[in-house]
Amino acid sequence: MSYIAPQKEMLFALNHIANLSSVFAQINSDLDLETVEGILDEAAKLNQDVVAPTNKTGDLEPSYLKDGKVITSAGFKNAFEQYTQGGWQGLSHPEEVGGQNLPKLLATVCCEMLNSSNLSFALCSMLTDGAIEAILTAGSDAQKQQYIPKMISGEWTGSMNLTEPQAGSDLALVRTRAEPQADGTYKVFGTKIFITYGDHDFTDNIVHLVLARTPDAPEGIKGISLFIVPKVMVNDDGTLGAPNDVQCLSLEHKLGIKASPTAVLQFGDNGGATGYLIGQENFGLQYMFVMMNAARFSVGIQGLSVMERAYQLARDYARERLQSRPVDGSAREAVAIIHHPDIKRMLLTMKSTIEACRAMAYYAAGLGDIAHHHADESVRATAQAQYEFLVPLVKGYNTEQSIEIASFGVQIHGGMGFIEETGAAQHYRDARILPIYEGTTAIQANDLIGRKTLRDAGAVALAFSADIDATIVQLNASSQTQLQQMAAPLQSAVQAYNRVVHFVVQNTKTQPNQVFAGSVLYLKLAGLVLSAGQIARGALAAAELLAAGNTDEVFLQAKISTAAFYVQHLLPQSSALAAAIVDGASAVSDFDVAGF
């Protein structure tokens, strides 16, 4: 049940798919590979030795509310202190507010390790990162200096308060109100639900970011403002004052991520919680989207992380579990189940999906760095458009796959997988929230269509096709049979993907119900095809290293064979997905709801 950070896999993806050296050169980073490896070594030690051991105990003994205070699971507070004292909370934040200003690409790898170690624990860091990003984007200089350094140091944490009992995905229904005061502050009244780490015992203060309406705000999403509402008031000298009017009413009892305290928060029961406006009134949703988009990418990494943890557990079990003789009669005694064809199929599905999702996510992170730091504005704009297109895929595809991969983990364990003691069931339960929170898969798919595909008539979407076409040319030119055999299924998949992109562009305005009936399938198709393109690039790189005399033959050959499985065994689903989206659209849109 232990976790070992797959550093060799991570470094391969960084170097040969995310193009780490090229990204660093483009963003003028002075990091070298030796330094990167040193950082990853330290991250691995912390997560393997300190964080990972708390995963099972947190699931068995979740956070709880006692006398109005939240008590977190055993070991969590100590792990948080070591995590923040090591500077990991500030990894990618600006130096002027106490961060280390390291590239997103590097922070993404560390994020994967943290979430594989303990998803429930990692959520506190993720929400704090989001709060920091929102204040950096729209907060005043005074707010930045007052709150961000203490969140980075681990003295305080942050939370995101959007959802209300009547307002889930539709934030136009937010009713929490903020009444302006003579001193420039606001009094905030309302109830927020599903607030991750809305209360805990890690720190003395929590910086709540709260969506609310001012009295004269227009209806709908245009009338929402964003406020800082600290759990404890902060004095002018930065010390803590009296408690603010914020109460944790209860904690949710959940299917998974049990150790993460998911709070119901009440603002303003005793005269109003003091809040401070971020930016301008009525621009709150715009600011909050900064926080949400950062969180959505991070949730996609959570999906990858859960897959990796589930795979390691299943692989190790399959190596040890003796059951049945080989189907080819090669032995008369029971063998480890890892030798049985169907177990190999499931493990290959797990391994290849993880490597493909990691490749796509790391590549996206590198684009994010270029979009923020490249000297050329046109290069930044292109990278930003590509990064934004990939975010709903990283979030949506990775998290949907995490459920299937965690389910394979249970299946490989057989009956023991259904027994909690093995740990396989926890990964399955934890994974189930990932396609739901921070925007469901359907919301990601709607975003993929409306904001990412239609805005440029599919130009960015088709640019990714062109990149894969270039990879196909290289595969066809290879002298290796395994690489050559990947070209045809990859070409068929690109054709299916292009067909759907054109269908979306040509029909969304005139037949929106038909197009959006296949929106999630489009997201899955795009995730499958684009991740396949990346894992194929990895196979080409592995072949080049072998040809150059690299001695790590087992690892590199496994990279090629794993990519071949993904492309030949899983990628053909793309044709079926395209047919369902284009040819089967009316079967959904025209169905009479009276028939349900």
Active site residues: 438
**Six token digits for residue 432:** 């189930």
**HSE of 281 in the Cβ direction (CA atoms, 13 Å)?**
15
3-state secondary structure of 149: helix
Cα separations (Å) of 381 from 368, 370, 397, 454?
A: 10, 9, 24, 17
Question: 153: which residues sit within 8 A by CB, 6+ positions away?
Answer: 84, 89, 90, 98
Question: In terms of C-beta density within 10 A (0-12 exposed, 13-18 middle, 19 or more buried), how is residue 482 classed?
Answer: middle
Straight-line distance from the first to the last Cα atom of the chain, in angstroms, rounded to the nearest whole number: 44
**11: helix, strand or coil:** helix
The residue count of the chain comes to 596
| Residue 193 CB-density burial (10 A; 0-12 exposed, 13-18 middle, 19+ buried) | buried
The answer to whether 337 touches 321, Cβ cutoff 8 Å, is yes
CB 46 within 8 A of CB 87: no
**Residue 353: CA count within 13 A, CB half-sphere:** 30
Residue with the two structure tokens 């209806």: 219
Rg (CA), the chain: 24
Rounded CA separation 235/404 (Å) = 50
